[in-house]
A and B are shown apart, each in its own frame.
Chain A
Amino acid sequence: MWKYAIKRILLAAVTIFIIIAITFFAMNAIPGGPFNKEKATDPAVLAVLEARYNLDKPVPVQFLLYLKNLLHGDLGISLKTGRDISTIIGESFPISARLGGMAILVALVLGLFFGSIAALNRNKWPDRAIIFFTTFFVSVPSFVLATLLLLVFCLKLGWVPVWSTTRTNYVLPVIALAMYPMSYITRLTKSSMLDVLGQDYIRTARAKGVHTGKVIFKHALRNALIPVVTYVGPMSAYILTGSLVVETVFTIGGLGSKFVTGISYRDYPLIMGTTIFLATIMVIMTLLSDLAYKAVDPNIKFE
């Protein structure tokens, strides 16, 4: 177990390093420096500015300095607003994290519930209905779902107020974000639940006369949960990138919409910083879900 964990942590560290390197060198490849304006800046001023931000040094040295700053939590300054990127992330990420956390919770609870229902009623109408809806929702892009929800429930029916800083309503954004992972978890739970229900120990438990509810919750669901654990990593990645779109549609001022605004203004330092921040979270989530999977599943042996 420890050997595996160390190997996985090393791979994650290498991945994060590669992401930082890609980000840095990609941004370096963009022609034009951050101080190129319509009007030519005075060369003396430019030289001072470049020295201030270490732009006069060779690229590898710049990279090392950039790494050093990253380790100190300094992600640079936004071109558009002139503010610290770490401050921007610190302000806006809690909103995104709250939205994403709720979406993950909803997707997990409902996905497990519907998946179990479908597996227990195999080939009956609840199963067919659930599979129909999940197949459908796996095919709907989140921005389409988000915009349609906004159109119908906010603008046409007026059931939910449009998002503002004073009136925050998470219902629609959470639905838009959670629908795809929920459908996926439902299908995953159904197939793993069907697998487990065919096992000998379920038959044994039934033969002993154990109560059906206990068989389902104690024997079946606990084992069917294991494959779902591996999906938590990809799901958090999906929800973090999905929040770019959903936050933009619902005009929520989280990190996602800040990122999209950064893209449209070509605010390179902001794009860089946010990419590294989000990517690190995704890699860590994947690492945690992989480790949890190995720890939880009794069938896996470690060499």
Chain B
Amino acid sequence: MNDNRCGYPKKNPLSMQIDLSKFEPATEEEKRQHEVMRPSSTFFRDGMRKLFKNPLAVGSVIVLLLIFVTIIVAPMVVPYSYSDMVTIDGVRDKTAKNLSPFTYSEKEQEAIARGDRIFPHIFGTDALCRDYFMRVIYGTRVSLSVGLFASIIVLIIGLLYGSISGYAGGHTDLVMMRIVDIIYSLPDLLIIILLSVVLDATLGKVIQGTIFARLGTNMLSIFIVFGLLYWVSMARLVRGQILSIKQNEYVLAARALGAKPSRIIKKHILPNCISVIFISTALQVPSAIFTESFLSFVGLGVQAPMPSLGSLANAAREGLQSYPYKLVFPSVMICLIVLAFNLLGDGLRDAFDPKLRG
């Protein structure tokens, strides 16, 4: 009878009823143990944590950051320009031709003997007495911006086209995808060469006097060609993603509630496939840089005196035996950038692709 402290009816030994006397309220300490141990993690934070565990991805992020900082800071520190001859006291120094890294021309040595301080030519100078370090830095700027802009163009067009095609379905989808099939089967580099040749000859007059004239026809035609041809794989990817996400119940629910297609695409579908699209954009950058350097090499690259890594490497073929470092510097830069983007893209895929998450 003493057990029945709380006034419950006495338990029948054969009944299934729980014997409440065997339970007691949890202490404060025990309650605290049930609190969530770590803060809830979002998809993004979880992915970043995985990414930072991958040494290759972290290494490539560091390399890319270093390159970015260098190409931003170097032009502020180094007193030379990429397009003009090296000068001493405002006079063009014609002796500063094809200098090796960290050497000075005769006139510069005289100036140093007089007590002037002259900034070293870190990569030497080229055949037109221009500081080669600055040319490589600006070449990197040009190549990187071509890569980034081209990827953004591809992203925008592919995203729009793919989401319309995937969401509309039916005949619209069929026709839109046939167009994609045909563009996809065109040999892209050949068409790029062809269009660059043509645009080079026709665009010049059209853009005269506008901002575009500063970019040069070749650079513009690279962008146009990327906008015309390279978006198809992105469109296919987006369409595939949308087709699979469209099947989900929450999309049906949103439609039942009367949401407009644009809202469903924006709010329900895109956030769910954004990581895959982002990764593929990151992997597009090196391929754009490859294409740009290829075109520069064939002689359809950026306008002189503007350098790009490809055109620098091409120019270095003259006098290759005497000045091999002129080839080495831009080549190493291209390889570093492309390798870093490739590894980063792989790392992002491992960290963010929902299909690979265990």
Interface residues of chain A, those whose CB is within 8 Å of chain B, are 11-12, 14-15, 18-19, 22-23, 26-27, 29-32, 135-136, 138-141, 143-144, 147-148, 150-151, 155-156, 237, 241, 244-245, 248-249, 260, 263-264, 266, 268, 271-272, 275, 278-279, 282-283, 286
Contacts and interface: CB of A to CB of B under 8 A. Distances in A.
For chain B, the bracket of interface size reads 35 or more
Nearest to A19: B186
B81 to A, nearest CB: 26
Contact of A15 (B182, B189, B320, B331): B182
A266 B327 CA distance: 26
**What are the nearest 8 A-B pairs in CB distance?**
A139-B339, A139-B338, A144-B331, A26-B198, A241-B189, A282-B187, A30-B201, A15-B185
A266 B199 CA distance: 12
Contacts, number: 119
Contact of B194 (A26, A31, A147): A26
A140 B286 CA distance: 11
B286 A139 contact: yes
Given A15-B185, A148-B327, A271 B334 contact: no
Contacts of A12: 185
B301 to A, nearest CB: 12
A241 B193 CA distance: 10
A11 B334 contact: no
Main secondary structure of the interface of A (DSSP, over half): helix
8 contacts: A30-B198, A30-B202, A31-B202, A141-B290, A144-B334, A147-B331, A271-B193, A279-B187
Most buried by A among B297, B310, B321: B297
A197 B331 CA distance: 39
Interface of B: 181-182, 185-187, 189-191, 193-195, 197-198, 201-202, 286, 290, 293-294, 297-300, 310, 313-314, 316-317, 320-321, 324, 327, 331, 334-335, 338-339, 342-343
Contact of A271 (B194, B290, B299): B194
A147 B313 CA distance: 9
A203 B202 CA distance: 63
Contacts of B191: 19, 22, 275, 279
Given A266-B197, A282-B187, 10 more contacts: A19-B191, A30-B201, A143-B297, A143-B313, A156-B321, A245-B294, A248-B298, A271-B193, A275-B190, A283-B187
